[in-house]
């Protein structure tokens, strides 16, 4: 099976000085420059960019990150323009680094520059991830200010967690349960009684059961996340939860 080189980028919910277009162009140029030297003529597999996504969200749980990790195979490579586009958590960086290294999947960071195909590169990634996490903690106050500004303009200030959507604007916005998403995760929790997460991912693909939120077949990492959310009861940011099927049934009764 042929190996590929993929690009990844991210912009958060707030103003960024590096757009996804700029990140994609940088990744593609880097691939073309080192196509023969570093990538051994591996073809360009495409760019995956997450827009409106916080760096605090683990890479494999982001919408496009999930698709990317469901596609990459042993021997592939991933390019990022800046390390903080992929990680802002030391723990996330270490977890992903272990999984990628075990599969001989190498990460190349353009602006550092380094790649994880060497022991020095893997060490440098962990050091830089620690600094990225520190920077993320420093900008939390600015995020709070930005959210207050968005609320004043009548814009939602929170991303809906899996199993929910956002209804309304500003101070009147609220989370509403999405039955299809919650049912999908609950099915995964049920399957986990007799299958491993990798077996569940293969089973869902074989049956043609795509994730209703992304439209793609979930990777084993996403299966793990959805199983956990179903087990916890689809918690909202305030620690509460709303059962989608019960809420919809009650709403139907009120409208009769």
Q: Does domain 4-138 have CATH number 3.40.50.1390?
A: yes
CA distances from 248 to 44, 231, 243 (A): 45, 20, 9
4-138 and 155-254 agree in CATH topology: no
Q: Tell me the Ramachandran region of residue 223: left when phi exceeds 0, alpha when psi lies from -120 to 50, beta otherwise.
A: alpha
Take residue 7 and report the two structure tokens written for it.
């690009």
Please state the domain extents for the chain. Answer: 4-138, 155-254
pLDDT in tens, the chain (256 residues): 789 999 999 987 555 558 899 999 999 999 999 988 888 878 999 999 998 887 778 888 899 998 999 899 999 999 999 888 888 677 778 888 888 988 899 999 998 878 898 888 888 888 877 777 777 677 667 766 766 665 555 455 566 778 888 887 655 677 788 889 999 999 999 999 999 999 999 999 999 999 998 888 888 888 988 998 888 888 766 566 666 545 544 544 444 4
DSSP states along the chain: ---EEEEEEEE-SS--SS-HHHHHHHHHHHHHHSTTTTSTTPEEEEEEEEES--TTS-GGGSHHHHHHHHH--TT-EEEESSHHHH-S-HHHHHHHHHHHHHTT-EEEETTTTEETTSHHHHHHHHHHHHHHHHHHHHTHHHHHHHHHHHHHTT---SPPPTTEEEESSGGG-EEEE-HHHHHHHHHHHHHTTTS-HHHHHHHHHHHT---TTTSSPPPHHHHHHHHHHHHHT-B-TTS-B--HHHHHHHHHHHT-
| Domain 155-254 falls under CATH 3.90.1750 | yes
Six token digits for residue 44: 């360009």
């Amino acid at each position: 099976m042929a190996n590929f080189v993929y690009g990844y980028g991210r912009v958060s919910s707030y103003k960024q000085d590096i757009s996804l277009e700029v990140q994609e162009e940088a990744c593609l140029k880097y691939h073309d420059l080192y196509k023969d030297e570093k990538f051994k003529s591996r073809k360009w597999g495409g760019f995956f960019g997450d827009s409106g996504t916080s760096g605090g969200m683990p890479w494999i749980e982001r919408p496009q990150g999930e698709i990317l990790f469901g596609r990459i195979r042993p021997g592939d490579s991933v390019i990022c323009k800046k390390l903080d586009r992929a990680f802002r958590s030391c723990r996330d960086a270490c977890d992903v680094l272990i999984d990628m290294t075990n599969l001989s999947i190498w990460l190349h960071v353009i602006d550092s520059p380094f790649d994880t195909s060497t022991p020095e590169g893997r060490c440098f990634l962990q050091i830089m991830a620690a600094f990225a996490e520190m920077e993320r903690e420093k900008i939390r106050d600015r995020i709070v200010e930005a959210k207050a500004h968005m609320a004043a303009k009548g814009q939602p200030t929170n991303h809906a967690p899996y199993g929910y959507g956002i209804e309304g604007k500003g101070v009147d916005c609220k989370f509403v349960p999405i039955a299809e998403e919650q049912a999908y995760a609950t099915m995964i929790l049920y399957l986990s009684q007799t299958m491993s997460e990798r077996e569940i991912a293969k089973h869902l693909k074989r049956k043609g059961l795509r994730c209703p939120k992304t439209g793609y077949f979930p990777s084993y990492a996403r299966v793990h996340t959805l199983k956990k959310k179903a087990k916890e009861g689809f918690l909202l940011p305030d620690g509460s939860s709303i059962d989608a099927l019960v809420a919809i049934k009650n709403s139907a009764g009120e409208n009769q």
